[in-house]
Chains A and B, each alone.
Chain A
Amino acid sequence: MKAIHIKNGHLIDPANHIDAATDIYIQHGKIVGIGSKPDNFKPEQTIDANNLIVCPGLIDLNVRIREPGEVHKASLNSEATAAIQAGITTICCPPDTQPIMDTPSVASMIYHRAQRLGYSRVLLIGAATKDLAGQQLSNMRSLMNHHCIALSNANQPIENTLVERRIMEYAKTFGFTLILKPQDTALTDGGCAHEGAVSTRLGLTGIPEAAETVALAKDLALITGTGCKIHFEGISCARSVFMLDQAIKAKLPITAGTPIHQLHLTELDVDGFNSNCHVYPPLRTTNDKTTLRQGINNGTLSVIYSDHQPHENDAKLSPFPSTEPGISGLDTLLSLTIKLVKDHIISMSTAISCLTAGPAKAMNLPYGSLAVGDIADICIFDPDHYATLTRESMQSAGKNSPFIGWELPAQVTHTLLEGKLVFERDTLKVNL
């Protein structure tokens, strides 16, 4: 493993409150020096990061790699390669694979395949209930012993409140983190768009705001009783942000995040039956988008993630309600987040934090920080490089993005995983 010197870059490391032009020295996969060269350090490779931002490798808390089970959509190979080119060094896979990741054997299989590939680090989220059916607890302890970092029920709401309470109690026993996506099934009622003016006009079955806030209120009440550590994902409503803000102030052990598309799109983007904007939770109103952005700014929402759901073309080629929901988001996670900075909505430091330190803290991961002694996962990017997103420029196997045609900032130039340069834009090489 080479000793690497990254010079002339602008380091942004929110975990350590660094936002300055600083050199970085890397050896044996770890950071050995920030600013000043350690004694006896002899660089074997030097990266000139002049005019570039150097930050911790990005951590994406929700990435569907579609493997096993749906390799016609994407594969571990295609998505981990796409991730590394997008500066994402850690991806977390939810348990709704086929078969479902509710046993250690499935978790181990995915883990070992990812290890062999050696691109982005792949972390696993185990199923909280068997078959994700929300009835019987999964073997949580065994899953956590077999490479899982947290538990969730993926997109399936846990309908039975008693089961949900038991899951929290059991997870709390061992200090596990649970990921919840607040959704009330009855109120969702088979809907496919935000219940509002657009769904009314298009005759699409609406999903009311209450589908999220009712479930969130229930979850928060159960956390108050059980003390289980929860990360909320899929936050889409203004009212949810206010509820989370109060809960954080009341010192509940929670963190929360929102998918990047919720910070850019609204119900209006669904107009014309745009199936690339078919997502769960649905795109909400402009007011919701504004409040979510405020939530990012004041720290109520500490995680931005891609909610990456790559699809084959056919999945989006039917009438809107029967298209498969989800956006292919790996390629645009950094660019769309930096766009918020360019649009003067959030600071660069907040943007980087939501992609690094925020998710690391939510999942208690030893990444997302570049202090001396930390693991050298690093993303280097040019914040001022603008490019139009096209199907061809997307590296993910899934081309289902409503952002195609957008001119987006931030191009990743180098990605380092555990001190190894795994991607370099100039040579367009994915080094293994």
Chain B
Amino acid sequence: MYLPSGNPLMKRSSPHQNLQLTPEGKLRHFLTIEGLNKDILTEILDTAEKFTGISEREVKKVPILRGKVITNLFFETSTRTRTTFELAAKRLSADVLNLNISTSATSKGESLLDTLRNLEAMHTDMFVVRHSESGAAHFMAQQVAPHISVINAGDGRHAHPTQAMLDMFTIRRHKQEFEGLRVAIVGDILHSRVARSQIQALNTLGVTEVRIIAPQTLIPADVRSLGVHVYHDLDAGIKDVDVIIMLRLQKERMSNALLPSEQEYFQLFGLTAKRLKNCKDDLIIMHPGPINRGVEIESQVADGKHSVILQQVSFGIAVRMAVMSITLGNQQGVQR
């Protein structure tokens, strides 16, 4: 087992080297889309494509990760993400540990690092982590033994890279190419780790334009530095786009004085069939879920012909299988 010798701070990687990559430039952890090139993202999409067939077989399993232990470490509740990660790991024949830490160790005062060390001692090969604080997955990746991979399943407002990749997968399935696409992301960009990862993935894969559409209260500072065009008017923002990604609006945004009411939000930024009157025929509408019907999206649209929301969920399994098999594959031969 890997035990830190001397001072733990000295063990940490320099913040300026790319923590996610092996010295050969291959994916070791999957923490954020930032800093990954188009080849790596394309490799994930291509690998996921191969895995989609497995779900349709009678025996939905391949032995790629047999004998590996994958620990799902969820400090925040999640249904979709956790279950798809679990399914993905099981289809790759790995042993899966599910820990909901919000109800476990940290509530007894154990630090994240101690939790990590304990699970490491149980010979985990991969951590899938969700945490309410930005940087949690980076922190874990800095601390784990060299043979362990960390997959970020969402950290604070920072990143949710597997969600972004399954969205890219969905877009590629429908559009084949990223070049030439205009994509609009509508809603609470400020608090959204999904939006940050999507923006980075779309730009890396070479779409023509990424637009974000929201009132100023839901847009983070200097957002243009991420490579987006900002719109405050939904109709203008979705004009001529090929993809619309709706984000979930959390109820607590009202009490934080970010928005006046759900009604006013829906009036201004809710996606309705009426607003889609002049849209492209092959427009697709996505949503990372869970949906608030009648708040950010009308039921008629969520269930309508442009919607690919449920496909996103099933592609999620293949994409997560791809990320798990690539990262652990790149770790082969690394000394324990």
Write the residues of chain A forming the contact surface with B, with a CB cutoff of 8 angstroms. 195-197, 199-206, 208, 271-274, 313-314, 316-322, 391, 399
Residues of B within 8 A of A271 (CB): 15-16
Measured CB to CB, the closest approach of chain B to A185, in angstroms, equals: 15
For window 138-193 of B, CB contacts with A under 8 Å fall at: 138-139, 143, 155-159, 193
Known contacts A203-B159, A272-B19; decide if A197 and B138 are in contact (CB<8 Å): no
Q: Is B287 an interface residue (CB 8 A)?
A: no
- B297 to chain A minimum Cβ distance, whole angstroms, is 24
The residues of B that contact A202 with a CB separation of less than 8 Å are 134-135, 158
Q: Does B23 contact A (CB under 8 A)?
A: no
Residues in A with CB closer than 8 Å to B7 are 313, 391, 399
Return the chain B residue nearest A209 by Cβ: B221
B216 contacts the other chain (CB 8 A): no
Give me the interface of B with A, judged by CB distance under 8 Å. Answer: 7-10, 14-16, 19, 34, 111-113, 131, 133-136, 138-139, 143, 155-159, 193, 196, 220-223, 225-226
Q: Which of A196, A274, A313, A320 is most buried by chain B, counting CB atoms within 10 A of its CB?
A: A320
- Residue of B whose beta carbon sits closest to that of A317: B113
In the assembled complex, which residues on chain A have CB atoms less than 8 Å from the CB atom of B16?
A: 271-272
> Is the beta-carbon distance between A197 and B222 smaller than 8 angstroms?
yes
Q: What CA separation (Å) do A191 and B34 show in the bound complex?
A: 22
Shortest distance from the beta carbon of B269 to any chain A beta carbon, whole Å? 20
- Residue pair A200, B15 in contact (C-beta under 8 Å): no
Q: Is the CB of A274 within 8 A of B15?
A: yes
Name A200's contact: one of B136, B155, B221 (CB within 8 Å): B221
Q: Are A200 and B226 in contact (CB under 8 A)?
A: yes
Query: Which of A201, A205, A399 is close to B34, meaning CB atoms less than 8 Å apart?
Result: A201
Cβ–Cβ < 8 Å partners of A321 in chain B: 133-135, 156
A319 touches B19 (CB 8 A): no
Which A residues are CB-close (under 8 A) to B134?
202-204, 273, 319-321
Interfacial chain B residues near A201, Cβ < 8 Å:
34, 196, 225-226
Q: How far is the CB of B108 from chain A (nearest CB, A)?
A: 16
The contact of B9 among A196, A203, A319, A399, by CB within 8 Å, is: A399
Pick from B14, B133, B157, B225: contact of A319, CB below 8 A: B133
Q: Is the Cβ of A200 less than 8 Å from the Cβ of B223? A: yes
Chain B residue nearest to A285 (CB atoms) is: B222
Question: How many whole Å from A206's CB to the nearest CB in chain B?
Answer: 6
Chain A, Cβ-Cβ closest to B19 = A272
When the two chains form their complex, are residues B15 and A196 in contact, meaning their CB atoms are under 8 A apart?
no
Q: Which residues of A contact B15 (CB under 8 A)?
A: 271-274
Nearest 7 Cβ contacts at the A-B interface = A272-B15, A203-B158, A203-B157, A273-B135, A319-B133, A319-B136, A320-B135
Residue of A nearest to B113 (CB): A317
Question: Which residues does chain B contribute within 8 Å of A274, judged by CB atoms?
Answer: 15
Contact of B112 among A196, A200, A319, A399 (CB under 8 A): A319
A399 to B225, CA, bound (A): 34
Q: Is the CB of A318 within 8 A of B113?
A: yes
Question: Are B139 and A197 in contact, CB atoms less than 8 angstroms apart?
Answer: no
Chain A interface SS verdict (over half):
loop
A317 to B143, CA, bound (A): 9
> How far apart sit A199 and B225, CA to CA, in the bound complex (Å)?
11
User: Do the beta carbons of A203 and B196 come within 8 Å of each other?
Assistant: yes
User: What's the minimum C-beta distance from A276 to chain B, rounded to whole angstroms?
Assistant: 8
Contact check, B133 vs A197: say whether CB atoms are below 8 A apart: no
B110 smallest CB distance to A (angstroms): 12
List chain B residues, Cβ under 8 A from A206: 220-221
Q: Which residues of A contact B136 (CB under 8 A)?
A: 319
* Chain A residue with Cβ nearest B75: A319
Contacts of A320 in B (CB 8 A): 133-135, 139
Contact residues in A for B221 (Cβ distance below 8 Å) = 195-197, 199-200, 206, 208
Instruction: Give 10 A-B contacts (CB < 8 Å), ordered by A residue.
Output: A196-B221, A204-B157, A206-B221, A317-B111, A319-B112, A319-B133, A319-B134, A319-B139, A322-B133, A399-B7
Give chain B residues whose Cβ lies under 8 Å from the Cβ of A205.
Answer: 157
Chain A residues near B111 (CB, 8 Å)?
Answer: 314, 317-318
Nearest-CB distance from B169 to chain A (Å)?
Answer: 23
Q: Across the interface, do B135 and A204 meet the contact criterion of CB distance under 8 Å?
A: yes
Chain A residues near B8 (CB-CB < 8 A): 313, 317
- Cα distance, A321 to B132, chains bound together (Å): 10
Query: Which B residues are in CB contact (< 8 Å) with A204?
Result: 134-135, 156-158
Contact A203/B138 with A196-B221, A197-B225, A316-B9 known, Cβ cut-off 8 Å? no
Return A192 CB to nearest CB of chain B, in Å: 9
CB within 8 A of B155: which of A203, A208, A314? A203
Alpha-carbon distance A317/B9, docked complex (angstroms): 8
Q: Give CA–CA (A316, B226) in the complex, Å.
A: 28
Tell me, in angstroms, the Cα distance from A316 to B14 when the chains sit together: 15
Q: In the complex, how many angstroms separate the beta carbon of A170 from the nearest chain B beta carbon? A: 34
Q: Which of B16, B138, B139 has the most CB of A within 10 A?
A: B139
Asked if B9 and A200 sit within 8 Å, CB to CB, the answer is no
B230 to chain A, nearest CB (A): 12
Q: How far, in Å, is A352 (CB) from chain B's closest CB? A: 33
Q: Is the CB of B138 within 8 A of A273?
A: yes
The answer for the CA separation of A272 and B13 in the assembled complex, in Å, is 10
Also in contact, A319 and B222, with CB within 8 A (given A201-B34, A399-B9): no
Question: Nearest Cβ in chain B — how far from A12, in angstroms?
Answer: 36
Interfacial chain B residues near A203, Cβ < 8 Å: 134, 155-159, 193, 196
Kindly list chain B residues whose C-beta atoms are within 8 Å of the C-beta of A196.
221-222
Give the shortest distance, in Å, between B255 (CB) and chain A (any CB). Answer: 13
Known contacts A204-B135, A273-B134, A319-B133, then 6 further A-B pairs from the complex at CB < 8 Å, ordered by chain A residue: A200-B223, A200-B226, A204-B134, A273-B138, A319-B135, A399-B7
CA distance A197 to B158 in the complex (A): 13
Tell me the complex Cα distance, A274–B19, Å: 13
Chain B residue numbers with a CB within 8 Å of A319 are 112, 131, 133-136, 138-139, 155-156
The residues of A that contact B220 with a CB separation of less than 8 Å are 199-200, 206
B139 surroundings in chain A (CB, below 8 A): 273, 317-320
